[in-house]
Chain A
Amino acid sequence: MKFPASNERPERMMSGVVRGTVAAMTMSALRQVTTGLGLVEQTPPDAILKERAFALIVRKPRLAFFLARRQVAVVELAHWVYGAGGGAAFALLPRSFLDKQWAGPAYGLATWAVFELSIAPVLGLEQATKFRPVERLMFAMDHLLYGVILAGDSQWVMPEQPRRTGGSPGRRHAGA
């Protein structure tokens, strides 16, 4: 497993931040639709703010006032920041993983799994206890979209690699 060299990391992380932000923004657009159609009751960042954030800000009334009045914008911004962080982390993954065509979708689904299997139960969110197959499917789909957009063709995280000219997807960089 080969991780990026230290001198490559800042540039790759910056690209990851930009792509992660754009991917999270795209997710937000999809969620506007799924929430509007009633397929999603509450998005994960929304649930965290409404069910858990109060404990952190309860002694900071000005911050609580700001969050309560501007929560729609705050929730979106927080989601984009989370997406940007996810993009930076993606950029630092080993080349052997990024080389795969399924790397982006798998990464997107993994970020969803992290929420469902650790963040939601650890924070005690209502979503962790409810049976909600349709909402879970929608979340899986929008995270899949995040991963696809984040990864693109993966060339952005491997600029020194020659672009694919043909052959099977799994062997793109077989000679590297």
Chain B
Amino acid sequence: MRVREVMTGDLFTVAASEVVGEAARKMIERWVGSAVVDRGTSDPLGIITERDILELVGRGGDARAGYVADHLAPGSIRAAPEWTLERAAEAMIAGGFRHLIVLDEDRPVGIVSIKDIVGAWTKGRVRRLIGIQIREAMNRDLLNIGRDETLRHAARQMVEHGAGAAIVESLRPKAAPGIITDRDVLKMVASGQDPDEERVGDHLSPSMTFSAPDWSLKQAAEAMTSGGFQHVVVVDGSGTVGIISMLDIVRRWLD
């Protein structure tokens, strides 16, 4: 299957001169995790993602004052329409991206996300994942953050750990934990709130679910694409044992 078959052709663009907070607000309005950046030059393309905004906050920046041009995703984030999904997935894994701009002879024609790729794979080649358990792909190195910590602290921890999400334990023992993700930080930025004042417990991700470590990876992939989740928290009788993201699934898939 080729990138052109799964990409989104409707490009969402923000100006390079725009304030990050305003760009974040537009991304939330459009319910997208990235925006193509028009730099107004002959080489106009860059991209800004949830991850870049998390890094801005985590490194102490002010989203209400910073400009999009200064916070573009680093590295090569481009794909061609004729690339196979495997090649696009490999590029994402190598760069740690979840989105690639699709260029047809230097002309932007779409954007492909990791969700598009996993969604296509779960529809077409799902059997490949049936015999694989979630434990084989999950991340066991958990980042735990207290509910009373500030969002600035949470963002800094996530950036330092290279994590897209952190576990937030419940107030009650044995109750379900929550998570906070780069998406939740994006929402906070979009609403103009101060990350030094806002508490993690008030910004938990509403969009998450749980699985056991021995459930099939196929189920996790289907759940993420149908439920719109970026992460699934893995629990067993002893408590939280891991977390799995779409990048983890794709990495295991390519293995």
Q: Is A115 an interface residue (CB 8 A)?
A: no
Interface string of B224-250 (1 = CB under 8 A from A): 001101000011110000000000000
Taking a contact as CB atoms under 8 Å apart, the answer to whether A64 and B211 are in contact is yes
Q: Tell whether A61 is near chain B: CB-to-CB under 8 Å.
A: yes
Instruction: Tell me whether A62 and B222 are in contact (CB under 8 A).
Output: no
Residue B173 lies at the interface, judged by CB distance under 8 Å to chain A: no
Residues of B within 8 Å of A55, CB to CB, are: 219, 222-223, 226
Residues A61 and B209 in contact in the complex (CB < 8 Å), given A55-B226, A68-B235, A69-B235: yes
- The answer to whether B75 has its CB under 8 Å from any CB of chain A is no
> Is A2 interfacial (CB 8 A cutoff)?
no
Asked if A102 is at the interface (CB within 8 A of a chain B CB), the reply is no
Count of chain B residues with a beta carbon within 8 Å of a chain A beta carbon: 26
How far is the CB of A20 from the nearest CB of chain B, in Å? Answer: 28
CB-contact partner of A51 in B176, B219, B227, under 8 A: B219
For residue A11, CB closer than 8 A to chain B, the reply is no
For B19, the chain A residues whose CB sits under 8 A away are none
Q: Contacts of A61 on B, CB cut-off 8 Å?
A: 176, 208-210
Indicate which residue in B210, B216, B218, B236 contacts A64 across the interface (CB closer than 8 Å): B210
Q: In the bound complex, do residue A54 and residue B223 qualify as a contact, i.e. CB atoms below 8 Å apart?
A: yes
Whether the Cβ atoms of B218 and A68 lie closer than 8 Å is no
Bound CA span A55–B221, Å: 10
Q: Does B130 contact A (CB under 8 A)?
A: yes
- Identify B130's interface contact among A51, A71, A72, CB under 8 A: A51
Interface residue tally for chain A (C-beta within 8 Å): 24
A64 to B227, CA, bound (A): 13
Is the CB of A3 closer than 8 A to any CB of chain B? Answer: no
Residues of A within 8 A of B180 (CB): none
Please report the C-alpha to C-alpha distance between residue A50 and residue B209 in the assembled complex, in whole angstroms.
15
Chain B contacts with A in 115-146, Cβ cutoff 8 A: 126-127, 130-131, 133
Cα distance A68–B215 in the bound complex, in angstroms:
9
User: Which residue of chain A lies nearest to B208 when distances are taken between CB atoms in the complex?
Assistant: A61
Closest B residue to A127 by beta carbon equals B130
A129 at the B interface (CB under 8 A): yes
- Which 3 residue pairs are nearest across A and B when measured between Cβ atoms? A54-B219, A68-B212, A58-B223
Listed A/B pairs (24) with beta-carbon separation below 8 Å:
A50-B212, A51-B216, A51-B219, A52-B219, A53-B219, A54-B211, A54-B219, A55-B223, A58-B223, A59-B209, A60-B209, A61-B208, A64-B209, A64-B210, A64-B211, A65-B176, A68-B212, A68-B236, A69-B212, A71-B212, A126-B130, A126-B131, A126-B216, A129-B127
11 extra A-B contacts, CB within 8 A, seeds A50-B216, A54-B223, A124-B127: A50-B133, A50-B214, A54-B211, A54-B215, A54-B222, A61-B176, A65-B176, A69-B237, A70-B237, A72-B237, A126-B131
- Taking beta carbons and an 8 Å cutoff, which residues of B are in contact with A? 126-127, 130-131, 133, 176, 208-212, 214-216, 218-220, 222-223, 226-227, 229, 234-237
